[in-house]
Structure 1
Amino acid sequence: MGTSTPEGRPGDEPSVSDKEWDDFLRGAAEGGRDAPVEPSARARLVTQRLRAEESAAGRTPGGNERPRRRRWRPPLIAGVAALALAVVAIRPELVVDRLPGAGGGSGTDAAPLAAETAPPTAAPSGDLFPDMPTLEEPFRGSPAVAWADGVAGIEVPEARAVGGMSRDQVAHALRSTKELLVASNLDRATLRGEHPAKALGLLDPLQKDGHGLMEKGLRDPREDQDPLWLLSRFDPAEVRVAGDTVKTRGRLTFAKGDRDGSVEVKADYTFVYPLVKAEPGADEVARTIVRRELTVALYDPAGTVTTPGRLVVIAWKSTTGNTDCARDGDGFLHPQFRTDLAPGPEGSGPAVDPYDRSKDLDALPQECGTVTRT
């Protein structure tokens, strides 16, 4: 982390000009040159795209690369859904700076599982292709049948003072993180693709790589500014949520942040959405499964330039089972229905169980692939 004190707010554009950065990118593509200091958020995104283009052309650039997307045909039977993984990490020192001198019903009677308090050791049991869901029982044949309903599945741990933050400040960070998960993954207006005002209102507007990036993604969704990094959204002209329930399972943890006067909250949750087509009389139910690993921070405004009480995004990662990868970048999840799929050639990569919460998202395949069940 740098020791200089910027004059601007978190996320403000640094002192490097666009011309300097463009010159650097051209030089890097031709054989390398030293980068100017403090690249802007825009420039870091351009760098990621450049690396992806180099990789696609057969070159191996240094550093981390954005995962390339490939569409794999179902390897087993028609109806095996697509798996897409999106990973974005934001270095907190690039978005938040120190102040000067600062040191519904599920259609089943199954008893819900106990809350998750630690990472599971294995995937949930079940047949590869169990009983089909119905409008009356949208979670039939799914491990989610025993998961909690919606908000009830997001339990907040007891707060304690940590990292120079008081118990009340930590409690606020935990409550705000739960509210963010609800507003971005369970709120009906968000799911219908409406503007997620509640979710955005919880994020620090000074952070351009968080709140600002979501605002841009909602106005102009693209693969490099995708609102799905944070939000679960479906095109209301295409599908709607079947019934009143979304199933939820996961856990919240917290620890000292990257500096004194901060706390980081980590959320790891899976959401299961039962969906039907928006057309009249549609009765086939498809399920889309979204797992998110979200890390946010709350900073003490006495020591950090921040909006008091608002959350700063440190990292967001997600994987989605049953979405059409060929339509990445339009800002919506696109569930696939069995009646619309035709058998195709065998896929070339490993299949993934979207209900398996025993592995970190970083350990999963980075490309678009197949899932074993929905």
Structure 2
Amino acid sequence: MGWDYDGHSGGESQSPAARIASGAVGIVVAAGLAMLVLRPELMPWRDAGDTTPLGAETERPSAAPSEEAFPDRPTLAEPFRGSPAVRWADGAAGIQPPAAKATGWMSKAQVEAALKRAKDFLVASNLDPAVLKGGKPAAALALIDPKQPDVRADLEKSLAKPTEEDDPTSLFTRFSPKEVRQVGTVVKTRGRMTFEEGKGKDADAVLIRADYTFVYPVVKAAPGSDEVARTIVRRTVVFALSDPEKFEVTQGRLALWEWNANVGNSTCDQDEDGFLHPQFDSDLMTAPDTAPAGPEEDPYDRSKGLDELSQECGTVSRT
């Protein structure tokens, strides 16, 4: 299962709005068909699908990736098998900042440095192996401007004592090592980054906007576990670079202006402990009552903004 975190901005208290979209009914049906009717691995005539790497995403897609009727099931050796993410870039290679140019109060060199810091933040908060294993995102926190009121303190609080209102997974991807472990070392990544001169109340800042989806294959932590599940996390983050001639800022740091997240395949009813909680097909088949009944969504569909998605706990069409 999973959820949406609504818009956070300007150093206000960061809290999840409503929970949605997760691996439930859609997965149960697909799993039953795959195992009991048409097992893809037993159909040698079947095309395994295009695995050609995709070029970088430069604008919002017009539609979701095509879906296979009977997608291949992931394995320990091929954890992205049967997923659109098989064509995505690996980890940090999927985060490609655009070419810099002088914008607003910033020179080309300053914009280039800020874009690199934005990438560093996304890597540290979504791809750092220690953070994925439930560790503290120290490198990401270190990039946040300490002069931005309350933001760093609020994030530290959410990590120390997570609650529904203060949930660190609204910004950081973390799994409980007691519950699951990552399959391999690769996280698939796709998205884009843009920058622009601010307008209105943001007129004295340059804004960097990041929109990325990360796909995490995991198995249960118990030794010998081999059933692979995937959790899909889409994040949008806006960083603000304010003019130091007009505002008190720390050079070389980032101000977090807004962040949102949509999580596919993480339980909706889990106690708030600061971790994502993937569901497995076997769990859903033995306990079908745990499946949510909300609207179905495709977590790989990047053609819509996060504000266009349902705010209910629902199901995903695939993982």
Report the TM-score range of the alignment, normalised by the length of the smaller protein: 0.7 to 0.9
Distance 1:122 1:72, change over 3 A: closer
User: Structure 1 residues 273, 74: closer, same or farther in 2, change over 3 A?
Assistant: closer
Q: CA deviation at 1:132?
A: 0.7
Residues 246 and 272, structure 1, Cα contact 8 Å, conserved in 2:
yes
- Residue 334 of structure 1 is matched in structure 2 by 277
Report how far residue 208 of structure 1 moved: 3.8
Distance 1:129 1:351, change over 3 A: farther
- The equivalent of 1:280 in structure 2 is 223
Bigger Rg over Cα: 1
- Give the one of 306, 313, 316 matched to 1:368: 313
> Who is 1:124 aligned against?
65
Q: What is the letter of the counterpart of residue 114 of structure 2?
A: A
1:151 maps to which of 88, 92, 96: 92
* Alpha-carbon separation, structure 2, partners of 1:241 and 1:333: 12
- 1:79-228 mapped onto 2 (5 Å cutoff): 110-127=51-68, 129-228=70-169
The two structures, once aligned, show a CA RMSD in angstroms of 2.5
2:207 is matched by which residue type in structure 1?
A: E
- Given that residues 20 and 310 in structure 2 are in contact (C-alpha distance below 8 angstroms), is that contact kept between their aligned partners in structure 1? no
Q: Helix, strand or coil for the counterpart of 1:308? A: coil
How far, CA to CA, are the matches of 1:278 and 1:208 in structure 2? Answer: 39
Task: Measure how far apart 1:253 and its partner are.
Answer: 0.2
Give the aligned residue type for 2:205.
Answer: S
Aligned residues: 289
Seen in structure 2, the aligned counterparts of structure 1 residues 303 and 371 have a Cα distance that, compared at 3 Å, is same
CA deviation after TM superposition for structure 1 residue 340, in Å: 1.4
- Structure 1: where are the runs of 5+ without partners? 1-9, 12-40, 49-65, 82-107
Specify whether residues 286 and 260 from structure 1 end up closer, same or farther in structure 2 by C-alpha distance, changes over 3 A only.
same
- Give the match's secondary structure for 1:269: strand
Matched, 1:300 2:250: no
Structure 2 unpaired stretches of 5+? 1-9, 32-48
State TM-score, norm by structure 1: 0.72
1:336 Cα deviation from its structure 2 partner: 0.6
CA displacement, residues 300-351 of structure 1 (integer Å, 9 cap, x when unaligned): 3221112222111111010011001111532100001111113349854320
Distance 1:151 1:73 in 2: 26
1:67 has 2:17 as partner: yes
Q: Per-residue deviation at 1:209?
A: 4.3
Give the conservation status (yes or no) of the 8 Å contact 1:73–1:344: no
Cα distance change, pair 80–169 in 1 and its aligned pair in 2 (3 A) = farther
1:127-154 Cα distance to aligned partner (Å, 9 max, x none): 2551110000000000000000001101
2:131–2:137 contact (8 Å) kept in structure 1: yes
SS in 1 for 2:269: helix
**CA distance 1:338–1:261, change in 2 (3 Å):** same
Q: Counterparts of 1:223 and 1:80 in 2: how far apart (Å)?
A: 31
> 1:75 & 1:265 partners in 2: Cα distance?
37
Q: Residue 84 of structure 1 aligns with which residue?
A: none
Q: Identity rate of aligned residues, in percent?
A: 55
Instruction: Please say if residues 27 and 317 of structure 2, whose CA atoms lie closer than 8 Å, have aligned partners that are also in contact.
Output: no
In the other structure, the counterpart of 1:27 is none
Deviation string 1:166-208 (CA, Å, 9 cap, x unpaired) is 1122112111100000000001011011111100011112224
Is contact 1:79-1:336 (8 Å) kept? no
The residue type paired with residue 225 of structure 2 is: A
Which residue of the partner structure matches residue 314 of structure 1? 257
